[in-house]
Amino acid sequence: MTFKFKRKSILLSEKNKDSKAIGYARATHNEYEYLEEQIKILKEEGCILVFSEFISLDEEIKPQLNNAINSLSKGDQLIITQLDRAFKNKKECLITINKLINKDIQLRTLTGFFAADESSNTNSSIFKILYELDNLEDKSLGERKKEQLLRRKLSGNNLGGRPKISPLKESLVIRLRNEGYSYRSIRSQTGIALSTIRRVILEGELT
């Protein structure tokens, strides 16, 4: 669902006449009034275009959010009322912010830290550091898991404590992961538990 309209006045916060602000609004199904409220607020903030949709926060792909981001150019702003309208967790938020920073696009919310009209260079530096720290945390966790699996293999202990799936399903899991599918997407396609999918992928990386 997309709403387009002409801006009545130019925002003081705009850096130059060529930049534009694009909004994104999200609500769960049947929250019609909440979605309309977000759209109204974003229009008042000067968004020339507002992308909106009824979709669960847990959905990995939010089509209208992607459309909003793809509509932005260098120097533009993506505006949302608050972070949980677009992101389900810290990692998803940091990944998206990093992509926007690399394109010289600013994320702005109407509440919290991102509401302040501060130096974009300062914000960029902060979130590049946070993004790298989050990557470090993931890599460290992955390495510890690999070490644990390797120690169990060397000691002859059972790796998972659960019945193994068939070699055919194991190869399917690994193939889907290599093709770039997320763990949840692999689960929906195969019916295999997330814990088993993680184990199969980790064991495959050790062999």
What pTM was computed for the model? 0.55
pLDDT over 50 (residue 206): yes
The Cα-based distances of 163 to 3, 15, 193, 200 in angstroms read 52, 60, 12, 12
Confidence bin at 119 (pLDDT 50/70/90): very low
145 or 62, which is more confident: 62
Q: Which tokens belong to 1?
A: 């669902």
pLDDT reported for residue 30 = 82
pLDDT over 90 (residue 53): yes
40 or 57, which is more confident: 40
Q: Which residues of 160-179 are buried (b: 16+ CB within 10 A; e: fewer)?
A: eeeeebeeebbebbbebbee
pLDDT digits (tens, 9 = 90+) for 157-194: 555 555 567 888 888 898 898 888 888 889 888 888 88
Q: Is 77 left (phi over 0), alpha (psi -120 to 50) or beta?
A: beta
Contact 87, 109 (CB under 8 A): no
Q: What are phi and psi of 73, to 5 degrees?
A: -125, 175
pLDDT digits (tens, 9 = 90+) for 121-138: 555 566 666 656 666 666
Burial of 186 (0-12, 13-18, 19+ CB in 10 A): buried
Q: Is 58 left (phi over 0), alpha (psi -120 to 50) or beta?
A: alpha
pLDDT reported for residue 95 = 85
In angstroms, rounded to a whole number, what is the distance separating the alpha carbons of residues 166 and 1?
A: 43
pLDDT reported for residue 14 = 46
198 or 152, which is more confident: 198
Burial of 97 (0-12, 13-18, 19+ CB in 10 A): buried
- Region 67-75: mean pLDDT is 94
Q: Which tokens belong to 91?
A: 């990692």
pLDDT digits (tens, 9 = 90+) for 100-109: 988 999 888 8
pLDDT reported for residue 57 = 85
pLDDT reported for residue 15 = 47
Confidence bin at 207 (pLDDT 50/70/90): low
Number of other CB atoms surrounding residue 118 within 10 Å: 11
In angstroms, rounded to a whole number, what is the distance separating the alpha carbons of residues 46 and 140?
A: 43
